[in-house]
Structures are given as C-alpha cells and as structure tokens.
Amino acid sequence: MTDDEQSSELDVDRPALADQRGVDTVYGASEDSHLLAEAAVEGAKEGERALDIGTGSGYVAGALAEAGVDVVGTDLNPAACRQVHEAGISAVRANLLDPIRADAVDLVVFNPPYLPTDPETEWGDWMQAALSGGEDGRAVVDPFLADVGRVLQDDGRAFLLVSSLTGIDDVTEFAGEQGLNSSIVAEESFPFERLVVLRLTVE
C-alpha cells in the first residue's frame, strides 16, 4: 500500500497498533525476534542458504549472516527491505514465499504477525502488517505453512515463531495437514503469552 493510502485510512481519534506497542514503521527486534534468532542459529549450518521471511529490522537475518549462513530477507514493507539492504543483507520485497522457486533453500525462518485482532481495530498501516494476524491470529501463518514445504530442499527446515495467543496446537495441527512435522525447539513464557519456536520439516 502507498503512504497516501495508509494515511487516508487513519482515524486520528484512535491509537494505531503501532502506538499501542510503542514501535515505529519497521518492527524493531523484540523478545520474539531474540528467541527465533537463537533457535535459527542453533539449527543452521555455515554455508547454508536461508530466507528470513518478514525480515523487519533484519535482526534474525543478521544473526544468521554472522553465523556464516547465506541469508536473504523478504518483507512486504519497503522500508524494512531498505533498512536491511542498508545493513548489508540482501532483501527482496515479496509476499511470503511467492517469488521463491521450489527446493531453493536449506532454511526458512519466520517471525510472523500473530496477534489476534478485532477487524474493528485493524488500521491499514505497516505496524498492522507487522503485528496483526487477523481475527484468529493465523491469517499470515496459515498461507506460510501451506507453501513452505515447496521451497525447502530435501533436508530443509523451517523455524516459525508461534505465540500461545495464536494457538500453538492449532498451528501444529494445520502444519500436519500440510504434510509438515513440527517440534518445539525453544520457548519462553511471559505474563501474557508463551512464545515457542517450531522446527518444521517435510514429512
């Protein structure tokens, strides 16, 4: 969406999701980013090819690059792509895995927008794209799960951040329906949510 389209949808009387979370146009690294980065680095090998979907500030991609992984970040948000590119990491503006050819990578990592969000409070700005997972929290997670197996090489793995707010069992059940095995490889609990990292492989 263009900046003009975004601002035309803004309602000045109500706080944007971005303001509610105290974050700027590009999602800054948070607890979820740290948990995913640690698990991804642990599960990666030097020289492997990786995609960081929804790369945001590029925090997870940067951690993989430091570990010697050949990583490309993707994001819908052009400002995120610019920021990551300026940090020296390749970035592509894309919806999820759309432009990626089959069997292209060893590793895919994704910290998705996952907060269940009432349509009434949807905003139409880039922070909504970073945070809102639609009514059930899985509006972006489910299409990702439906396609990720296609881009993974035979021994490929995906690492997906999931919150208890999104429904961890619902996500693993849908992953199974897409022919993916899943296991929890990292977790952290907070007063309001439990975060886990799922390791996904093609059955």
Ligand X SMILES: C[S@@+](CC[C@H](N)C(=O)[O-])C[C@H]1O[C@@H](n2cnc3c(N)ncnc32)[C@H](O)[C@@H]1O
181 binds ligand X (CB under 6 A): no
- Which of 48, 75, 106, 125: binder of ligand X (CB under 6 A)? 75
Task: In angstroms, give the least distance from the CB of 159 to ligand X.
Answer: 11
Question: Of 7-15, 73-81, 82-90, 147-155, which part binds ligand X (CB under 6 A)?
Answer: 73-81
Please state, in angstroms and rounded to a whole number, the distance separating the CA atoms of residues 141 and 92. Answer: 19
In the complex with ligand X, the residue whose CB is nearer, 48 or 52, is: 52
For helices 141-151 and 168-177, the axis angle rounded to 10 degrees is 40
Q: Report the site for ligand X in 116-135 (rule: CB under 6 A).
A: 129-130
For helices 59-66 and 31-42, the axis angle rounded to 10 degrees is 30
Residues forming a β-bridge with 165: none
Here's the x/- map for ligand X, 21-40, by CB under 6 A: it reads as ------x-x---x--x----
Residue count, binding to ligand X (CB under 6 A): 24
Helices within the chain (DSSP H only): 3-8, 17-21, 31-42, 59-66, 78-86, 126-131, 141-151, 168-177
Edge-first strand listing for the sheet containing 180-189: 90-93, 70-75, 49-53, 105-110, 152-163, 194-202, 180-189
- Which of 140, 151, 152, 196: binder of ligand X (CB under 6 A)? 140
Question: Of 6-14, 81-89, 105-113, 179-187, which part binds ligand X (CB under 6 A)?
Answer: 105-113
Please state, in angstroms and rounded to a whole number, the distance separating the CA atoms of residues 154 and 68. Answer: 21
In the complex with ligand X, the residue whose CB is nearer, 59 or 123, is: 59
| Residue 41 exposed, middle or buried by CB count within 10 Å (0-12, 13-18, 19+) | middle
Task: In angstroms, give the least distance from the CB of 154 to ligand X.
Answer: 25
77 binds ligand X (CB under 6 A): yes
96 binds ligand X (CB under 6 A): yes
Written as six digits, the tokens of 19 are: 């303001």
- Which of 1, 8, 42, 95: binder of ligand X (CB under 6 A)? 95
Name the residues that contact ligand X, by CB under 6 A.
Answer: 27, 29, 33, 36, 53-57, 59-60, 74-77, 80, 95-96, 111-113, 129-130, 140
